[in-house]
Chain A
Amino acid sequence: MISVDRLTKTFGTVRAVDDLTFEVRPGAVTGFLGPNGAGKTTTLRMLLGLVAPTSGSATIDGRRYADLERPGRVVGAALEAASFHPGRTALDHLRVFAPSMGVSDARCRELLAMVGLADAADRRVGGFSLGMRQRLALATTLLGDPPVLILDEPANGLDPGGIRWLRELLRFFAGEGRTVLVSSHVLSEVQQTVDDVVIIAQGRLVHASPLAELAAMAVRHVEVVSPDAEALRAVLDDRGWSYAPASREGVRGFDVSQVSAAEVGAAAFGASVELHTLTQREVELEDVFLSLTGQDGTPTSAGAPAAAEVAA
Chain B
Amino acid sequence: MRAALTSELRKWTTTRLWWVLLVIMAAYMAFLAVVMAFSLTLAPTGGTAPVGGVDAALTVYTLGNGLGYVFPLLAGAMSMTSEFRYQTITPSLLGDPRRGVFLGAKLVSAAVIGLAFGVVGTAASVAGGAPILSLRGDGAFLTEGDVLAPIALSVVALAIWAFVGVGVGSLITNQVAAIVVVLAFTQFVEPILRVGFSAVDALEGVAKFLPGAASEALVGASTYASLGMSELLDRWAGALVFLAYGVVLAAIGRWTTLRRDIT
Number of A-B contacts (CB under 8 A): 85
Binds B, one of A31-39, A86-94, A276-284: A86-94
The chain A residue sitting closest to B10, CB to CB, is A96
Q: Does A184 contact B (CB under 8 A)?
A: no
Q: Which of A51, A87, A100, A102 has the most CB of B within 10 A?
A: A100
* B14→A88 contact, CB < 8 A: yes
Q: Does A20 contact B (CB under 8 A)?
A: no
* B95→A83 contact, CB < 8 A: no
Q: Which of B89, B94, B262 contacts A72 (CB 8 A)?
A: B94
Binds B, one of A42-50, A228-236, A255-263: A42-50
* A52→B88 contact, CB < 8 A: no
Nearest chain A CB to B259 CB, angstrom units? 9
* A84→B86 contact, CB < 8 A: yes
* A88→B95 contact, CB < 8 A: no
Q: Does B200 contact A (CB under 8 A)?
A: no
* A101→B95 contact, CB < 8 A: yes
Nearest chain A CB to B69 CB, angstrom units? 24
Q: Does B91 contact A (CB under 8 A)?
A: yes
How many angstroms between the C-alpha atoms of A49 and B98 in the bound complex? 10
How many angstroms between the C-alpha atoms of A79 and B91 in the bound complex? 9
How many angstroms between the C-alpha atoms of A95 and B3 in the bound complex? 11
* B94→A81 contact, CB < 8 A: no
Q: Does A303 contact B (CB under 8 A)?
A: no
How many angstroms between the C-alpha atoms of A75 and B96 in the bound complex? 12
Q: Does A210 contact B (CB under 8 A)?
A: no
Residues 194-210 of chain A: 1 if any B CB is under 8 Å from the residue's CB, otherwise 0? Answer: 00000000000000000
Q: Which of B2, B82, B262 contacts A50 (CB 8 A)?
A: B262
Q: Does A85 contact B (CB under 8 A)?
A: yes
Q: Which of A71, A89, A93, A95 contacts B94 (CB 8 A)?
A: A71
* A85→B86 contact, CB < 8 A: yes
Q: Does A82 contact B (CB under 8 A)?
A: yes
Residues of B with C-beta under 8 A to A22: none
Q: Given A77-B94, A100-B96, decide whether A51 and B6 contact each other with a Cβ distance below 8 A.
A: no
* B88→A49 contact, CB < 8 A: no
Q: Given A45-B263, A96-B7, A99-B4, decide whether A65 and B88 contact each other with a Cβ distance below 8 A.
A: no
Nearest chain A CB to B172 CB, angstrom units? 19
Q: Does A304 contact B (CB under 8 A)?
A: no
Q: Which of B3, B95, B263 has the most CB of A within 10 A?
A: B95
Residues of B with C-beta under 8 A to A96: 7, 10-11, 14, 88
Q: Does A183 contact B (CB under 8 A)?
A: no
How many angstroms between the C-alpha atoms of A93 and B262 in the bound complex? 20
* B3→A99 contact, CB < 8 A: yes
Nearest chain B CB to A300 CB, angstrom units? 24
Residues of B with C-beta under 8 A to A88: 14-15
* A140→B91 contact, CB < 8 A: yes
Q: Does A97 contact B (CB under 8 A)?
A: yes
A38-78: which residues lie under 8 A (CB-CB) from chain B? 42, 45, 48-52, 65-66, 71-72, 75, 77
Q: Given A87-B16, A88-B14, A99-B4, decide whether A82 and B95 contact each other with a Cβ distance below 8 A.
A: no
Residues of B with C-beta under 8 A to A89: 14
Residues of B with C-beta under 8 A to A49: 93, 97
Nearest chain A CB to B3 CB, angstrom units? 4
Nearest chain B CB to A106 CB, angstrom units? 16
How many angstroms between the C-alpha atoms of A83 and B6 in the bound complex? 19
Q: Which of A65, A84, A88 has the most CB of B within 10 A?
A: A88
* B87→A66 contact, CB < 8 A: no
* B97→A83 contact, CB < 8 A: no
* B261→A51 contact, CB < 8 A: yes
B5-46: which residues lie under 8 A (CB-CB) from chain A? 6-7, 10-11, 14-17
Q: Does B90 contact A (CB under 8 A)?
A: yes
Q: Which of B6, B17, B263 contacts A99 (CB 8 A)?
A: B6
The chain A residue sitting closest to B13, CB to CB, is A92
How many angstroms between the C-alpha atoms of A56 and B15 in the bound complex? 40
Residues of A with C-beta under 8 A to B2: 99
* B97→A65 contact, CB < 8 A: yes
The chain B residue sitting closest to A143, CB to CB, is B95
Nearest chain A CB to B117 CB, angstrom units? 19
Nearest chain B CB to A150 CB, angstrom units? 10
Q: Which of A77, A81, A84, A99 contacts B10 (CB 8 A)?
A: A99
B73-112: which residues lie under 8 A (CB-CB) from chain A? 82, 86-98
How many angstroms between the C-alpha atoms of A48 and B246 in the bound complex? 30
Residues 46-61 of chain B: 1 if any A CB is under 8 Å from the residue's CB, otherwise 0? Answer: 0000000000000000
Q: Given A97-B95, A100-B95, decide whether A81 and B87 contact each other with a Cβ distance below 8 A.
A: yes
The chain B residue sitting closest to A88, CB to CB, is B14
Q: Given A77-B94, A88-B15, A100-B4, decide whether A45 and B262 contact each other with a Cβ distance below 8 A.
A: yes
The 4 closest A-B pairs by CB, nearest first: A100-B95, A92-B14, A99-B6, A99-B3
Apart from the given pairs A45-B261, A50-B261, A85-B86, 10 other A-B contacts in the complex at a CB distance below 8 Å: A66-B97, A71-B95, A81-B90, A82-B87, A84-B86, A85-B88, A86-B86, A87-B17, A96-B10, A99-B4
A selection of 22 A-B contacts at a CB cut-off of 8 Å is A45-B262, A49-B97, A50-B262, A51-B262, A51-B263, A65-B97, A71-B96, A72-B94, A81-B87, A83-B86, A83-B89, A83-B91, A86-B86, A92-B10, A97-B7, A98-B7, A99-B4, A99-B7, A99-B95, A100-B7, A100-B95, A102-B3
